[in-house]
């Protein structure tokens, strides 16, 4: 048994006294991005949520937009620019010394791209905006001939009853605000575009030869200021998030989703017991608490001595690695997996070798003792 642990203890001592070993890289970047559960790791581009807040009068021509599809518009944003600010400066001479001064700032327009969905919700949004501000699109029911026929100056009042362009009595803005939320680690950062105004929108093109392309709509938005906000993500926070078309089924790694057959691991028995006791202490016993207790009891019955032993060894190994700053694998500074002629896998260590294909821990010990007596293969 002592021979089996020689390599392990050699590596432990080496890890404490010479943590980098013979071959190692500098871990500045790795430590920066991975410490504290990836607290300083860069955010991912695909975790975002966009909220369009329409004024009460915005959907007067198309009421279904606000009544049925208010949150779905947010979910159909394919991409969006975050706000960009240009600060204008001027260089002055102060007794031959150059001095830079700020004069004013400009808010650069942002582009928002939507999926052109089969139901046509994003196209409906653009139609609603167009018909809200411009009277031209509201003459559809009148037919093409009457409102857009050749104008006759002296044709009588019948030819002059139609209104066009901005002559539509729409004085309240269409959008109250548009907010783009970045999300990471159950937190959001919001960028609110104040008094947004669409400066242009574009529908996609069609192409008979393109069998794989997907349609999209795009709008460009100008704004007058930016408001920043922060908070915790959750159902309805930000507005509309996780409320429609969202998978609310519990994760199989969590207790409510079944949990895992471990004592201290994620979704394990210890986590389940802690959750149940917390609900009972807070007087919040409900169906979720009962399901958590049932799954915890079910997983507890499946625990085995061998499983607990392996889990404990894994926890001990992880703790030693954190203390020593190296991989406690049984070989000083290096692992050498080696395949034998019969296809089994052996790991060569400074204390001998053991068969990693053995099904149980005692078998591995027996194999290691045999290999230590017979010498390395």
- Write down the mean pLDDT value for the chain: 77
Q: Which residues contact 270 (CB under 8 A, 6 or more apart)?
A: 263, 264
pLDDT of residue 331: 46
Mean of pLDDT values over 56-65: 77
CA angle 162/163/168 to nearest 5° reads 145
pLDDT value for 2: 54
Q: What is the pLDDT of residues 215-230, one digit of tens each?
A: 999 999 999 999 999 9
Q: CATH 2.30.110 occupies which residues in the chain?
A: 48-232
Kindly report, residue by residue over 1-31, the tens digit of the pLDDT.
556 555 656 665 666 566 665 566 566 667 7
Let me know if domain 48-232 sits in CATH 3.30.1490.
no
What number of other Cβ atoms are within 10 A of residue 178's Cβ? 24
> E strands within the chain?
48-54, 77-80, 84-94, 97-108, 110-115, 175-184, 187-194, 197-203, 216-222, 225-232, 336-339, 345-349, 352-355
Structure-block tokens of residue 185 = 């680690």
Question: How far is residue 24's CA from residue 317's CA, in Å, rounded to a whole number?
Answer: 19
Beta bridge partners of 225: 194
């Amino acid at each position: 048994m002592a021979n089996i642990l020689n390599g392990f203890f050699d590596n432990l001592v080496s890890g404490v006294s010479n943590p980098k070993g013979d071959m190692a890289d500098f871990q500045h970047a790795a430590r920066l991005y991975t410490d504290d559960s990836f607290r300083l790791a860069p955010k991912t581009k695909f975790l975002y949520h966009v909220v369009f807040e329409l004024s009460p009068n915005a959907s007067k021509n198309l009421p279904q937009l606000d009544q049925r599809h208010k949150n779905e518009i947010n979910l159909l944003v394919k991409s969006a620019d975050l706000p960009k600010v240009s600060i204008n400066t001027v260089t002055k001479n102060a007794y031959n010394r150059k001095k830079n001064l700020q004069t004013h700032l400009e808010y650069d327009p942002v582009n928002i791209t939507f999926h052109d969905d089969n139901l046509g919700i994003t196209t409906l949004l653009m139609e609603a905006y167009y018909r809200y501000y411009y009277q031209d699109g509201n003459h559809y029911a009148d037919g093409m001939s009457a409102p857009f026929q050749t104008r006759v100056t002296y044709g009588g009042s019948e030819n002059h009853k139609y209104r066009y362009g901005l002559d539509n009595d729409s004085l309240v803005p269409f959008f109250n605000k548009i907010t783009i939320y970045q999300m990471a680690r159950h937190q959001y950062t919001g960028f609110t575009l104040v008094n947004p105004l669409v400066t242009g929108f574009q529908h996609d093109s069609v192409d008979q030869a393109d069998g794989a392309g997907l349609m999209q709509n795009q709008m460009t938005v100008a704004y007058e200021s930016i408001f920043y906000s922060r908070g915790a993500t959750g159902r309805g926070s930000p507005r509309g998030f996780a409320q429609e078309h969202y998978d609310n089924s519990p994760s199989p790694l969590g207790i409510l989703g079944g949990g895992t057959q471990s004592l201290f691991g994620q979704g394990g028995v210890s986590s389940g017991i802690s959750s149940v006791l917390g609900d009972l202490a807070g007087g919040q016993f409900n169906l979720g608490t009962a399901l958590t207790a049932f799954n915890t009891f079910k997983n507890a019955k499946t625990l085995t001595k061998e499983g607990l032993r392996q889990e404990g060894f894994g926890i001990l190994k992880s703790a030693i690695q954190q203390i020593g700053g190296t991989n406690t694998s049984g070989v000083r500074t290096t692992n050498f997996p080696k395949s034998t002629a019969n296809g089994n896998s052996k790991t060569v260590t400074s204390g001998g070798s053991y068969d990693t294909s053995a099904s149980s821990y005692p078998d591995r010990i027996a194999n290691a003792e045999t290999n230590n007596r017979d010498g390395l293969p």
